[in-house]
Structure 1
Amino acid sequence: MKMAWILALFGLVWGGASQAGPVSYDVDGQGFEGFYLGSDKQAPLVLLVHDWDGLTDYEVKRAEMLAALGYNVFAVDLFGAGVRPTQMEEKKRLTGALYQDRPRMRKLLMAALGEARRLGWRLDNVVALGYCFGGAAVLELARSGADFKGIVSVHGGLTTPPEQGYKQTKASLLIQHGSADQSVSLKDFATLIGELEAAGVTHEATSYSGAPHAFSVFGGPNYRADADAKSWQRLTEFLSEVTKG
């Protein structure tokens, strides 16, 4: 979705006192464009990380749903301003570049958090939420030891790079996985649970029967309403639990 359409949607949904809009920022000379929604600077913040399509209408819808529950939302851009790939090879190239440069991935995620700080939002009550590629990215934040209340990966990549681990993790983790996911295996799911348990990380991991990869993407070929509804309910409960107070 082009940013003009995002703004049009914001105008329909957030006309009034709430704040919403695109955020342009630079990281090492490259331009990025995320967006934000919120009405209370003291509310908990959800750092929302997109899948390999880039920041599109799917993230806008999820941000809208979260903001309706009272959260501030900052949707991260990890690809660059205007970079919203539609071809498979381009998606693989963009995500592959960040998988090969984990320090860069972390830097881009933390730069977005810095923009949230610039907006005046409190950063002591933050949850990172990612879908698919974004789910893998937020686990990078977990392993980095980011001082967040919670980290949620929804049908995300779950493998841990050989040189990394969860010994520094501070946040509570929620992992939501589709049992029928052919991109991320049940073996990957079980291995991650073992790693979290061995590292003493507070975590919860759920596998939804019959749910394929990207089961929560509205209108997508893999969308499963039952798994989406169950995962969203638990996600909202988790957010309330870890951000209270």
Structure 2
Amino acid sequence: MKIASILCLFGIIGNLSGYAQELKVVNYQDGDQKLQGLVSANAAKGKSGVLILPAWKGIDQEAKTAALALEKEGYISFIADIYGVGNTPESNQEAAALSSKYKVDYQLYQNRIKAGIAALKAQGADKIAVIGYCFGGTGALETARAGLPVLGVVCIHGGLAKAADRPHTAIHAKVLVEHPAADASVKKEHYDALVQELDEGKADWQIITYAHAKHTFTNPESADYNELMAKRAWNHTLLFLAELLK
């Protein structure tokens, strides 16, 4: 699906040349690793911010479209760079290997998210929430698990599994999980374990399950795309963010 159709999903109207100028590059770092995120062009101090964690191939069109849509809602939106400059995967195989590394080394993933939060704060955001797609949805949950300074997280068709030997901790951020009912990548035991983890962590949580939806149901460029359920999921995201940030 082309960019115009993707923009249409989020209600973004305008010419595509203007679209390309809506996001600005922000250089930041995690230790020695150079990172390069994107921030909404009209960022202003004193606004609430949303950190976007992209899917397994890094900063992609779905993340950019979400950033523009969130800017329209009045938020500073910042797309985090998890892998770092020079490490963008070129194929699904490379993306699977690289994302798996961060899922196993979850503390590295949490640190990269922490760096993104700091970069968003440097843009003037006062209150922050996190949303993530797929691999980024896993990152949203890791944000909550790490107790990072955000008000809430949205996991959008993310992986729900956590290593069995990791202890449960208190979860202070509010949690919204947007789960496609036909997601073959999520096992029932992972779903059940997440519910137990959130309950034991005394989290304010909710899981919304979308009927007839496969894994990447929100992405118009995916064969799994489900337009109706994607629109519902986006509206649920906006409602959740408004409760947290407005």
TM range (shorter): 0.7 to 0.9
Aligned residues: 231
Structure 1: distance between partners of 2:110 and 2:204: 22
Question: Match for 1:34 among 30, 33, 37?
Answer: 37
Q: Secondary structure at the match of 1:221?
A: coil
Q: Secondary structure at the match of 2:130?
A: strand
- Displacement after TM superposition at 1:14 (Å): 8.0
Aligned-pair identity in percent equals 26
TM-score by structure 1 length?
0.87
Question: Match for 1:79 among 83, 90, 94?
Answer: 83
Structure 1: distance between partners of 2:94 and 2:170: 33
Contiguous gaps of at least 5 residues in structure 2? 1-14
- Displacement after TM superposition at 1:135 (Å): 0.4
User: Does the 8 Å CA contact 1:44/1:72 hold for their aligned counterparts?
Assistant: yes
1:97-176 correspondence to structure 2 within 5 Å? 97-122=101-126, 125-176=127-178
Q: Secondary structure at the match of 2:66?
A: helix
- Displacement after TM superposition at 1:192 (Å): 1.3
Give CA deviations for 1:166-225 in whole Å, capped at 9, x if unaligned. 532111100000010011134422331232123221011011111000100112111001
Change in 2 beyond 3 A, CA 1:195/1:36: same
Structure 2: distance between partners of 1:127 and 1:200: 19
User: Does the 8 Å CA contact 2:135/2:159 hold for their aligned counterparts?
Assistant: yes
Contiguous gaps of at least 5 residues in structure 1? 1-8
TM-score by structure 2 length?
0.87
User: Does the 8 Å CA contact 1:34/1:74 hold for their aligned counterparts?
Assistant: yes
Structure 2: distance between partners of 1:142 and 1:161: 16
Root-mean-square deviation over aligned CA pairs: 1.9
**Alignment partner, residue 204 of structure 1:** 206
**Alignment partner, residue 9 of structure 2:** none
Structure 1: distance between partners of 2:187 and 2:18: 40
Q: Which has the higher contact order (CA 8 A, sep 6+)?
A: 2
